[in-house]
Every structure is written in C-alpha cells, then in structure tokens.
Chains A and B, each alone.
Chain A
Amino acid sequence: MSAASKAGVIEAVRKTGEAGLFFVRLLGACIPALARPKLIIAQIYNAGARSLIIIMLSGLFTGMVLGLQGYELLNRFGATEALGTAAALALLKELGPVLTALLFAGRAGTALTSEIGLMRATDQLTAMEVMAVDPLRYVAAPRFLGGLIAMPLLTAIFNVIGLFGAQLIGVQMLGVDHGTFWSQTQSAVALKDVTEGIVKSVVFGAVVSLIAVNEGYHADPTAEGVGLATTRTVVASSVMTLLLDYVLTAAFM
C-alpha cells in the first residue's frame, strides 16, 4: 500500500471516528434541545415544509414511471391487475425512502451544511460559545431533530403521491381496472412492508441530517471550505443512503 493511500485510509478512519464522537455529543445535546420545541418546529418547517414541492413532484413522476414500466412488464405475463401491488411495494419498501433521502440530501442537507458552515465562518458559533450558550444544543441539535422528524413525513407524502401517479397512468390511461388496482394493493401489502419503509426513512433521516450538521459544524471557515463541505454532504449522504438501503433490505429479508 502506498504512503498516499495509507494516509487516505487513516484520514477516512479519523473522519468516521470524529463523526461518531460528534454523533454521541449531538445525541447528548438533543435531550435538553427537546425543551425548546419552537426551535425544532422551525427546523421541521425549514427542512420539511420547504422540501414539499420537490418531494411531491418527484413522487408524482416516480409513480407515473412505475405505472408505465410496471404495466409494460406485467402485461408480458398477463398480470396487469398486479400493477397496484407492484407499485405500492416498490414505493413503500425502496423508492419512497431512498429517493426521498437523496432529494432531502440535495435540498435540505446542503442548506443545513451551508447555513451552519457560514455561521462558523462568521463567528456566530464562537459568539454563542463565548456567551456561554452551547451551539451544539442551540444550533446543531434542533436541526438534526428537525431533519430526523421531517424525513419519515416526507417519505409518507412521497409514497402517497407516487401511488397516485401510478394509479393515474395504470388506471386512468392504460385501462387497469380501478377496483382491482386498489383491492390487490390492499390485500398484498403487509404491515411488515410499511414498517420496513418507515424504519428505512428514520435511519436515512438520522444519517443524512447527521452528515449535513457534522459537515457544516466542522467546515473550514472560508468560502471554499463551506462549498467543499456542502459537496461532501451530498456525496456522503447519497452513498450512505444506498449502502444502508442494502443493509436494511437484507436485514428485513
């Protein structure tokens, strides 16, 4: 192993350890932060409500594509009545949590990182420390909790709109029977499928929010540093989401 790749591995391990320690401190700060519901609600609004349009639009188009592709595939086996089931399972178990997490990383994660990074660069976090206010408790924890709460809610909305999109194409355009579409969906989707989706969305919410807050909190206090931290948030969140998706899917088998 070359010296450069050794240094790269050491740096990666160091960064992971640093993020782990930060996570522990952040969790500690979350308990007192719960006493300030106003701050958390503001962050649910920032991370959640402000991401609604992008989540709803993406959900609609994802569902519509599922409707088209699902119909095309099922039609080959003469099983188009299973379209509702196929779309619902795909959305609930995979596409809903994963796509929402990826979109959330791009929309809310980057906003979190750049906001906290700029607060660091303009001495706002230092000013809080000097005023004897823990920025971890006042800035980081409410944003982490806001993201953690917003993600499952956004995923649920994504799923509902996505299923509506699949129905729009399958039933309204391609002629799948309306009653069959919904009754098949209702009978085939089990509670376990819904639970899998919820667990995934909570885990992704925690991971993406942690990465976003951690990158912002430890960003170099320069324009370049904040830019790099924002990029790292998207890259790390996306990779971690897909990696954990595999792990969780395997765990639920």
Chain B
Amino acid sequence: MSESASAAAHEPSDAVIDVRGVHYAVDGRPIFSGLDIAARRGLITAVMGPSGTGKTTLLRLITGQIYADRGVVSVFGKDVGTLGSAELYASRQRMGMLFQNGALLTDIDVFENVAFPVREHTDLPEPLIRNLVLTKLEAVGLRGAAHLMPGELSGGMARRVALARAIVMDPEVLIYDEPFVGLDPISLGVILRLIKQMNDALKITSIVVSHDVHEIESIADYSYLLSEGRVVAAGTPAELARSDSPTVRQFMTGGAEGPVRFHYPAADYATELLESPR
C-alpha cells in the first residue's frame, strides 16, 4: 500500500493522534521529511521501521518533548506545537507511556513508583491509592513485588511495573517505546498479551513503536512502516503481509539486501583494505 493510500485509509476525525506532513531535523540532518501517521481511537497502531528511522523521535514529538520544524502534530484534536506548558501537561495526563527500559524511579519501591502519578496529580486518600495501585499491580501480575526496589527487578518485571504505572491514571492513549526489546520469550508473551488486554478491556488507543515485526503484527490493527524519514508502507497486518513492495518484503523477512541499506555509507571496501594504515 502506498503512502498516499495510507493517508486516505483513515478518517482524520477518528484520529486521537494525527501527525501531518511533519519535518524534523537534528543538526541539519533530516529525521522526518513529510511524515503522516494517525492513531485511531480504540485501536492498536504499530509504527515499525529499521533502527535509526526516528521511531523514538516520533514519540517525543507526540508527547511534546520536542517540536516539529514543519507540519502539525495534533493530540486530542489540539496542535501540540501551540500548547502552553499547562495545556501540554494537561494533555500528558491523558496519556501513558511505557519506556524502553521502564524508566522506573530508582529511589522508591515498586508500589511508590506506581503510586507516583496518582500522588502527584490527585488528593486521593491513602486507602484508595493503595487499592488503585494494588489493582494495577495485580493486572500485570506483580502485586507480590510491591515492596521490591526497581534494582531488584528483572528487565521484564521492570517493564510490567512501568506498564502498571502507565495505566494507573486510566489514560486514553498508551504509547509503547520498543516494549519487546531484550525480553525472554515468556516475558515477551506476557507483555504482548497485556498490551492486547489493555486495549480490549479499557478501550485505550495504543501506539506501539517496535521493530519486532512478527510480535507486533500479531496484535496491531493498523501498521506503518517507516524508512528514511517517511512512511513507506501502511495498512493492516494482512495487507502488509501481501505487499509486494521491496522495502516491505525486506523488512518483513529481515533481509540484508534490498532498498533499506544495511551498511553505513563507506568508501569502496577493496580500496580501503589496500590503503596504508593511518
């Protein structure tokens, strides 16, 4: 499916997050040149692409940590670039984000980590906070680990605690940054199921950034494939699987040869080998 077709594939009014024609560069090096992505309400949207295509940068644009050079990033119908800090913080309170490494606060225990956003944003009485936190920890299977410090958790456990923290304020949107990286098969399966359950049970709009094609395709409703700062393909998992685009095929099958370069640009190999050492 082509880029223009992908833009037509969704109704903008249905999009909770709408990225339109975004250009973004770091030190003159373009990361995005005309990016179009939309996450529809209640669906799991996957953003895939090789390493270094700016997937994490996209999440930073959505959460308003950085601003687009050109184009519009709108979240909940508002242009993130025009929001004041109070509005931006209000918008962030409606989102939850799962970081690649969990990003748990290391000086407080698991319980306090999950309770952190609640304590910061509400005046709920302690018994209610306790029940809320234990409910969320139970949902990720870690109620028994409430007293542990983040340093005592495995990578998979830390990510599950971070997931409990991300959903504790009942967000409308959940953003996952590479949720499967470095997980053992069991933890990976658990996280995958949890993402699906959160989406099904709580009707949360989810954006999952990942390069684990097969895992993400098993739960995504709609996927975008990024390469060199643009969407090169978009569609449902079935549509992407049927795609005959060389880029899509290379990415789906993990081939080193194809439109997506494996090698960093370099001088001719033989010439460099024959050169005298520096």
CB distance from A17 to the nearest CB of B (A): 20
**What 1/0 flags go to B160-171 for Cβ under 8 Å of A?**
000001000000
Q: Is A133 an interface residue (CB 8 A)?
A: yes
Given contacts A122-B106, A124-B106, contact A131 B101 (CB under 8 A): no
Q: Which residues 71-105 of B have a CB within 8 angstroms of A?
A: 89-90, 92-93, 95, 97, 99-101, 103-105
**Given the complex of chains A and B, what is the CA–CA distance between A22 and B255 in angstroms?**
48
Question: Which of A119, A122, A132, A133 is most buried by chain B, counting CB atoms within 10 A of its CB?
Answer: A132
Q: Is B121 an interface residue (CB 8 A)?
A: yes
Describe A's contact surface by its main secondary structure. Answer: helix
Query: Which chain B positions have C-beta within 8 A of A124?
Result: 103-106
Count of chain A residues with Cβ under 8 Å from any Cβ of B? 14
**Given the complex of chains A and B, what is the CA–CA distance between A130 and B94 in angstroms?**
10
Q: Is B205 an interface residue (CB 8 A)?
A: no
A132:B92 contact, CB within 8 angstroms: yes
B121:A127 contact, CB within 8 angstroms: no
Q: Is B63 an interface residue (CB 8 A)?
A: yes
**Given the complex of chains A and B, what is the CA–CA distance between A208 and B196 in angstroms?**
49
B90:A127 contact, CB within 8 angstroms: no
Q: Is B116 an interface residue (CB 8 A)?
A: yes
Query: Which chain B positions have C-beta within 8 A of A128?
Result: 105
CB distance from A121 to the nearest CB of B (A): 10
B92:A123 contact, CB within 8 angstroms: no
**What 1/0 flags go to A121-143 for Cβ under 8 Å of B?**
01110111111111000100000
B92:A126 contact, CB within 8 angstroms: no
Q: Is B65 an interface residue (CB 8 A)?
A: yes
**Given the complex of chains A and B, what is the CA–CA distance between A113 and B244 in angstroms?**
52
Partner of B103, one of A127, A133, A134, A138: A127
Question: Which of B95, B99, B121 is most buried by chain A, counting CB atoms within 10 A of its CB?
Answer: B99
CB distance from A214 to the nearest CB of B (A): 20
**Given the complex of chains A and B, what is the CA–CA distance between A129 and B165 in angstroms?**
14
B101:A123 contact, CB within 8 angstroms: yes
Q: Is B120 an interface residue (CB 8 A)?
A: yes
Query: Which chain A positions have C-beta within 8 A of B101?
Result: 122-123
Query: Which chain A positions have C-beta within 8 A of B155?
Result: none
Count of chain B residues with Cβ under 8 Å from any Cβ of A? 20
CB distance from A92 to the nearest CB of B (A): 36
Query: Which chain B positions have C-beta within 8 A of A129?
Result: 63, 65, 92
Question: Which of A119, A127, A128, A134 is most buried by chain B, counting CB atoms within 10 A of its CB?
Answer: A127
Query: Which chain B positions have C-beta within 8 A of A138?
Result: 120
CB distance from A136 to the nearest CB of B (A): 11
A133:B120 contact, CB within 8 angstroms: yes
Partner of B117, one of A122, A123, A126, A131: A131
**Given the complex of chains A and B, what is the CA–CA distance between A172 and B15 in angstroms?**
82
**Given the complex of chains A and B, what is the CA–CA distance between A129 and B65 in angstroms?**
8
CB distance from B160 to the nearest CB of A (A): 15
A130:B65 contact, CB within 8 angstroms: yes
Instruction: Identify the 7 closest CB pairs spanning chains A and B, nearest first.
Output: A123-B103, A127-B103, A132-B92, A132-B89, A132-B93, A130-B97, A131-B117
Q: What residues of chain A have their CB less than 8 Å away from a CB belonging to chain B?
A: 119, 122-124, 126-134, 138
Q: What residues of chain B have their CB less than 8 Å away from a CB belonging to chain A?
A: 63, 65, 89-90, 92-93, 95, 97, 99-101, 103-106, 116-117, 120-121, 165
| Given contact pairs A127-B104, A129-B92, A132-B90, a sample of 20 additional A-B residue pairs in the complex whose CB atoms are under 8 Å apart | A119-B106, A122-B103, A123-B99, A123-B100, A123-B103, A124-B104, A126-B99, A126-B103, A127-B97, A128-B105, A130-B63, A130-B95, A130-B97, A131-B117, A132-B92, A132-B117, A132-B121, A133-B116, A134-B89, A138-B120
List 28 contacting pairs A-B, 8 Å CB cutoff, sorted by A.
A122-B101, A122-B103, A122-B106, A123-B99, A123-B100, A123-B101, A123-B103, A124-B106, A126-B65, A126-B103, A127-B97, A127-B99, A127-B103, A129-B63, A130-B63, A130-B65, A130-B95, A131-B92, A131-B116, A131-B165, A132-B90, A132-B92, A132-B93, A132-B121, A133-B116, A133-B117, A133-B120, A138-B120
